[in-house]
Amino acid sequence: MKIIALGETDSLLGHYLAQIRDKSVQKDSMRFRQNMERMGEIFAYEISKTLSYKTVQTETPLGIADCRVLDEPIVLATILRAGLPVHDGLLHCFDGAQNAFVAAYRKYGKGNECDMLIEYQSCPPLEGKTLVIADAMLASGASMLMTYESLVANGEPKHTHIVCPVASRDGVENLSKNLPHKHVTFWVGAIDEELTNHSFIVPGLGDAGDLAFGSKN
């Protein structure tokens, strides 16, 4: 799996990343969602540089222009609900893409035992297409691995891009060990070193779903 950490190079992505982490800025849920969407747009632009294009002739009011346009089918997938703002940002750019949605959640048992479960999936056929999976954060990586396996049951993608603004080092290493090396690229804003026993990323940013859409309780 190829890993591209965009936050390691100075750009506006770092500015938006600082704001989604800032506990005072987080009080404005609309601003939090917008910053996640903006980061999704930046990831989309960077991913677009890796895709296939073709030349088409476009008629202007004054003549004919040769233009380079996208030449491969895209499917944008997200893990509900925290990944939705990032997904929206990707969709702003890949506006002709098909879309897939997965509901994954943690089921806690006795003590610290925790299982990841897929409750719902909606996905078009993926065979030969480019798949982009978005989530707000990557903690242990368990939900992303389960989501990937659930999605590729709908066909083998040509290539899969995974997008997360914030990830833990443990989660990235988990994906690296368990995903196809040649056909998956992981795009991340920041990789944080600490992951607690309850799978909280430190410093992280908190619960992205609650920050974007309000508390579940």
CATH architecture of 2-51+72-213: 3-Layer(aba) Sandwich (3.40)
Residue 157: what are its φ and ψ, rounded to 5°? Answer: -70, 155
Contact present, 43 and 74 (Cβ < 8 Å): no
pLDDT 10s digit of each residue in the chain, 217 long?
999 999 999 999 999 999 999 999 999 999 999 999 999 999 999 999 999 999 999 999 999 999 999 999 999 999 988 999 999 999 999 999 999 999 876 665 555 555 667 778 899 999 999 999 999 999 999 999 999 999 999 999 999 999 999 999 999 999 999 998 789 999 999 999 999 988 899 999 999 999 999 987 6
Measured between alpha carbons, how far is 31 from 75 in angstroms, rounded to an integer? Answer: 27
